[in-house]
Structure 1
C-alpha cells in the first residue's frame, strides 16, 4: 500500500508518537490525573466507566508507586499493567457508570482495589498463546502474589496484592 511502511503504519507515524511521548510529558499527565481524580491512597477515587479511564488509572498507579511510595520502576510497570487489566474488566463487563480505584500500602506489600456495582464474578480462564483477549486475570494471577474478589451488598471489589520491601 502506498504511504504505509512494513508494519502497516503511515510513514512517520512512529516518529510522531515518539516525539509526543517523553518521561517528562508522561509525568505531567500523571500529575494531572492525580489532580483531576484525586489520590487513590487517601480514599477510593471515582473514575467514569469509559475505555479512556484506563489511561487515567494507569497514570494514577504510576505516580503513586514511583513518587509517593518510591518503589522500583519494575514494580511500577507490573502494578500499572495489573491496574489496567482490572479497570478494563470493570469497564467492559459491568455496565457501570463509574468504578472506584483505591491503593494501599500495608507493611511489606501493596494492595490495589477496583470496585464496581456488579456482583458478577470475574473468571480466570485458561489462556492460549494465540488468544487475543481474556488474558487480564491470567496476568493478575501470574504477576501478583495474591488476588481475589470481595462481594459487597451492592457490587464487588476485585483486588491484588504484591509483596514489596519496606522503606
Structure 2
C-alpha cells in the first residue's frame, strides 16, 4: 500500500494473517536464528553448547511468544528471561556439545523445555544479596507457575510452565 509520499508503507497485523512490514534489527536476528536452527514451537531445535546460544534461544523464544503466539508483554518478558536461565545452566553445567529447546502451547499454558544429555539434576539453592551467581533457578521458581526436571533414558529435560489467558 503506497502512502502519500508514494513510498510503500508497512502493513499492519490483522487477525492471524501474515504481515508485511519492515522487520526490526531484533526481528532480523530472530528470523536468521529460525532459518539456521528451526522453530522450537514446531519441533525441538538443537543448539550448540556455547555461551552465545543463550542469545539465540532468547531470540527464538521472543519470536515464538510475541509473533507466533501473540502473548502479553509480561509473559513474553518472563519467558525470554527464563529460557535464557535454563539455557545458561545447560551450557555451564552439563558438559554437553548440544542441547535441545522446545516450546509448547496448550489451552491456558505455555511450556518450555531444555533437554541435555546430563543426568545431573539442577538444585535450587538459597541466594544471598551479595552473591554474583546462582539466581537462575530462583528466577524460574519465582516467575513460572511450575517447573521441574524429567529424567530421560539419555539425559534430562528441565522445563517451566507459564499460565496464559489465551483461551486456546
Residues of 2 paired with 1:30 and 1:76: CA distance?
A: 14
SS at match of 2:106: coil
Per-residue CA shift, 1:26-85, capped at 9, x if unaligned? 111111111111010111000000000000000000000000000112211100000000
Residues of 2 paired with 1:55 and 1:150: CA distance?
A: 24
Aligned residue in 1 for 2:17: none
Aligned residue in 2 for 1:14: none
SS at match of 1:150: strand
Backbone CA RMSD of aligned residues = 1.0
Aligned residue in 1 for 2:58: 58
More helix by share: 1
Residues 86-105 of structure 1 correspond to what in structure 2 (within 5 A)?
86-105=86-105
Per-residue CA shift, 1:9-41, capped at 9, x if unaligned? xxxxxxxxxxxxxx8111111111111110101
The answer for unaligned runs of 5 or more in structure 2 is 1-22
Residues of 2 paired with 1:29 and 1:105: CA distance?
A: 23
Displacement over 2 Å in runs of 4+: none
1:134 has 2:122 as partner:
no
Aligned residue in 1 for 2:42: 42
Residues of 1 paired with 2:125 and 2:135: CA distance?
A: 8
Residues of 2 paired with 1:108 and 1:73: CA distance?
A: 16
Q: TM-score, normalised by structure 1?
A: 0.85
Residues of 1 paired with 2:115 and 2:108: CA distance?
A: 23
Residues of 1 paired with 2:43 and 2:26: CA distance?
A: 24
Residues 114-133 of structure 1 correspond to what in structure 2 (within 5 A)?
114-133=114-133
Residues of 1 paired with 2:26 and 2:77: CA distance?
A: 14
SS at match of 1:40: coil
Residues of 2 paired with 1:73 and 1:25: CA distance?
A: 18
Per-residue CA shift, 1:80-124, capped at 9, x if unaligned? 000000000000000000000000001101000000000000000
